[in-house]
Amino acid sequence: MFFEQLLFFVAGFGAIGGAVGVVVLRNPFYSVLALVGHLISLAILFLLLTAAFLAAAQVVVYAGAVMVLYVFVVAYVGGSEEELRPEAKGLLGAFGPLFAAVLLVELAIAVIGSSLSTLDSRGADVGAGFGSPGAIGELLLTKFLLPFEAASFLLLIAAVGAVVLARKRRGLEEPADAISVADLVRSDVGTQKEAAG
């Protein structure tokens, strides 16, 4: 019990520290590393919640694959040091964090407030195999078969999209020929600004 609580606080601090690091650190590379730390802390928290399979998936997929992808991109793009000053213009710079704080307060009230009575402190009694791959797998193939298949479809689309986005013509690198972000985001009828005149 004590060990669990200790572990909770350690992992909690790790998660929060990682999160703060992501937001605060100027160099994007460092932000990526902070996020990796955050993810691993989260994995520990998952374990504390007897979600073993998910903890493993978190480490393998998220921290392992997704973050590695991030690292590659940061290396390629070469994230430079950003300016120290708050970059947002005017209102946003001042109130950005404030809005987040407001949201936090609300959520805290929501959780800790009167609705807390619905939260069972200990949680339901669960059997030994709770959170095991077998249990999750069984659900994935019976009750949640459709979301499972849809998720795989989504992955396919994402892969195709990535290929389309990143391809370049063999030998030709003229801006006019290749697809650009501007082309991607521009709609057929022009921006609202153009339409409004």
CB of 4 to other proteins, least distance (A): 6
99: helix, strand or coil: helix
Q: Which is nearer to other proteins, 123 or 188 (CB)?
A: 123
CB of 49 to other proteins, least distance (A): 5
Q: Which is nearer to other proteins, 83 or 171 (CB)?
A: 83
15 contacts 38 by C-beta, under 8 angstroms:
yes
Task: Return d(Cα 107, Cα 10) in angstroms, integer.
Answer: 23
CB of 128 to other proteins, least distance (A): 13
Nearest CA to 17 out of 2, 31, 1, 3 is that of 31
Task: Return d(Cα 129, Cα 51) in angstroms, integer.
Answer: 10
Task: Return d(Cα 36, Cα 28) in angstroms, integer.
Answer: 13
37 contacts 67 by C-beta, under 8 angstroms:
no
CB of 175 to other proteins, least distance (A): 6
Cβ of 89: how many Cβ atoms within 10 Å? Answer: 8
Residue 142 structure tokens: 């019976």
CB of 127 to other proteins, least distance (A): 9
CB of 188 to other proteins, least distance (A): 14
Task: Return d(Cα 96, Cα 21) in angstroms, integer.
Answer: 17
Element (H, E) at 133: helix 133-141
52: helix, strand or coil: helix
